[in-house]
Every structure is written in structure tokens, then in C-alpha cells.
Structure 1
Amino acid sequence: MKISYDPTVDALYIRFIEGPAECEVIRLNDRVAVNIGPGEQVVGIEVLDASEMLEGLKEHKIRLENLVAVS
């Protein structure tokens, strides 16, 4: 899993599956979209205006628990 944030467009993307995948996009609302790939697997979740939806994002106050970082 990879989580990336682009502050220039205030967008957060959580990618669950590595590599390219052709996806169907399901919009949950104006700000959140889920990308569904082959076998109906969730490939990723996109959050627009992320700093408005996720309190503390711009201040780097997001905490990930029980995850091992892989570089």
C-alpha cells in the first residue's frame, strides 16, 4: 500500500495494488472516488480537497499505527 499527498492540488491517494491496472471509477461524492480494478479489487481511493476532509493533514499531524514502512 502506498499513500501519497500532493499539496499543490490538495489531493490524497491511497493505492492498495502496485502496478498499472485498468480501473472503473466510482464517485462517492464530489471529493472522493474509488478505483475498482480487475476482479472487482479496490485499486485505490482518491480524496480531493484532502486537507479540508482530513484534519491535521497540512500540519503533518496524521498518525499511521501498526504499519511497517517499506522504502
Structure 2
Amino acid sequence: MKITYDPRYNIAYFRLHKKVAEVETIKISDEINIDMAPDGTIYGIELLNANEQITKEDKGNLLVVNEATGEETEILLAGA
């Protein structure tokens, strides 16, 4: 997975797989788009107005949790 952030447009993108030519962007809300292939594979999640969404409750930190081990890693996001 790759997470990118573009401060010029305030957009964050969570890439789960590399895009293929057949990806369709589905608008979930005014702030979230999902890139999906015809077979239902989700390729990425786009957050518009990302700063506001990312910093609402967690003060700009990304918490990665390994559910199997309980191990947690907290990452301060740039630009947040």
C-alpha cells in the first residue's frame, strides 16, 4: 500500500494496488472517491479536503495496527 498527499490540492490517496486501464472512479461522498475494477477489486481511496478529514480526531497521526499481534505504529503525517 502507498499513501500519497498533494498539499496543492489537499488530496490524499491510499493506493492498494497499481491501477489498471479499466478502473472506474466511484463517488462515495463529496470528500471520498473509490477506484474500482469491474471485478470489484478496490485499487485506491481518494480523500478530498484531506487535511480536515485526517486531522478531525487524531490530530494528524496515522495509526497502523496489526490486529493479529496488537502491535501499533503511529506516524505523524506531513502537512497535517
Give runs of ≥4 in structure 1 deviating > 4 Å.
Answer: none
Aligned-pair identity (%):
33
Q: Which runs of 5+ in 2 are unaligned?
A: 67-72, 74-80
Q: Are the equivalent residues in 2 in contact too, given 1:21–1:38 (CA < 8 A)? A: no
TM-score using structure 2 length: 0.67
The alignment status of 1:16 with 2:55, answered yes or no, reads: no
Deviation at 1:19, TM superposition (A): 4.6
1:62 maps to a residue whose letter is: L
Q: Are the equivalent residues in 2 in contact too, given 1:10–1:48 (CA < 8 A)? A: yes
Cα deviation code 1:21-64 (max 9, x no counterpart): 4211111111101110141100100000000111134xxx3343
Q: Which runs of 5+ in 1 are unaligned?
A: none
Higher strand proportion (structure 1 or 2):
2
Please give the root-mean-square deviation of Cα atoms over the aligned residues, in Å. 1.9
Larger radius of gyration: 2
Pairs within 5 Å for 1:31-42: 31-42=31-42
Question: Which structure has more RCO (C-alpha within 8 Å, separation ≥ 6)?
Answer: 1
